[in-house]
Amino acid sequence: MFLTYAHFKPEGALFYIGKGSKKRAYAKDNRNQHWTNIVKKHGFQVKTLAKWTDESDALLHEQFLIACFKDM
């Protein structure tokens, strides 16, 4: 199973949209420096946005969400 998920700062500000397995949503390794800096300063909370049986559907959903939230 694949997930699309969001990472939020504790006060609720969205800073990341991703896709992967449930473990990936909570993983701190293999992240970019911007993500790492935010998490070091603020921590993060995870919200699962959707579940997918097919990885390509999860990827399309991730791309759609990033496009929607890009200007925020």
pLDDT, one tens digit per residue, over 9-67 is 999 999 999 999 879 999 999 999 999 999 999 999 999 999 999 999 999 999 999 99
Q: How confident is the model at residue 8 (pLDDT cuts 50, 70, 90)?
A: very high
SS3 sequence of the chain: CEEEEEEECCCCCEEEEEEECHHHHHCCCCCCHHHHHHHHHHCCEEEEEEEECCHHHHHHHHHHHHHHHCCC
Instruction: Give the C-alpha separation, 19 to 31, whole Å.
Output: 13
pTM above 0.85, yes or no: yes
pLDDT value, residue 72: 67
